[in-house]
Amino acid sequence: MLKKLLVFGFLGFIITSCSGSLDTSNLTAEERLAHSKKLYEDEDYEEAAKEFEALLLQYPGSAVSDDAQFYLGMTRYKRGEYIIGAYEFSKLIKGMPTSEFVPEAQYMLAECYYQLSPDYSLDQKYTKKAIEEFQVFIDFFPLDSKVADAEKKINEMNDKLARKEFDTARIYEKLEYSKAALKYYDNVMEIYHDTKYAPLAHYNKINLLVSKNRNQEALDAANSFLQKYPNDSNFSSVEKIKASLESKISASN
């Protein structure tokens, strides 16, 4: 009889352990948070998310609501559910603006969009959103230790946007849509002036203007290039273009 009781007791323990069916209904908010965080730390993100959501429903406005809201966002992020994660972090920032988790939530909001940022050739709405949210983080929390990382990621994504504009310009140039090509080269030069694609766009613009015999515009662009990029690899080439253009313009006058 004792042996049977031990077997049934062991089976009951196994079933309870496997199902994770701890009765949390009578736990305090703090106890339930501790239980939920333990699930999170054990990387049981699906169950952790359920528990954080239940805590927020059972104890709305409690002292640990912001903890639960932040970690709910983190569980979504860890599961690769970046859109939902962004929503949860945004909910904390807007609904609990005095929480100590706001700086980290703002960073993670931007990080969710960063993870959604696709290859440069695709639509870049999430890239732009990530840049916007990282910039908000930098502006509001300039002394935070993650600012350097945020700035690095902004530069990385600006390079991606610049490359997309630059490649679009090159496509238009190959199709001989000069006006459109020049517009996109100008976009790179003006909007993404601090990326590696700005001098390339400037150089291509000069050559395109030369090919269309727009000599005075090409000369102005060459002078601007030489002033802006004295250390660029195309500097000597632009100097030669400038000299040639000056000779042509002088001869025509």
Residue 108's Cβ-count burial label (10 Å; 0-12, 13-18, 19+) is: buried
Residue-wise pLDDT for 144-171, tens only, equals: 999 999 999 999 999 999 999 999 999 9
Neighbours of 115 (CB within 10 A): 14
Q: Given the structure tokens 């102005």, which residue do they identify? A: 220
What pLDDT shows up at residue 217? 97
Residue 50's Cβ-count burial label (10 Å; 0-12, 13-18, 19+) is: middle
What pLDDT shows up at residue 39? 97
Neighbours of 182 (CB within 10 A): 22
What pLDDT shows up at residue 9? 40
What pLDDT shows up at residue 22? 64
Torsion of CA 97, 102, 107, 108, to 10 degrees: -100
What pLDDT shows up at residue 113? 98
Residue-wise pLDDT for 130-142, tens only, equals: 999 999 999 999 9
Asked if residues 159 and 197 have their Cβ atoms less than 8 Å apart, the reply is: yes
Question: How far is residue 180's CA from residue 173's CA, in Å, rounded to a whole number?
Answer: 8
Buried b (16+ CB within 10 A) or exposed e, 72-95: bbbbbbeeebbebbbebbbbbbee
Helix (H) or strand (E) holding 79: none
What pLDDT shows up at residue 253? 74
pLDDT along the chain (253 residues), means of 10: 40 37 80 96 97 96 96 98 98 97 98 97 97 98 98 98 98 98 98 97 98 97 98 98 95 82
What pLDDT shows up at residue 23? 73
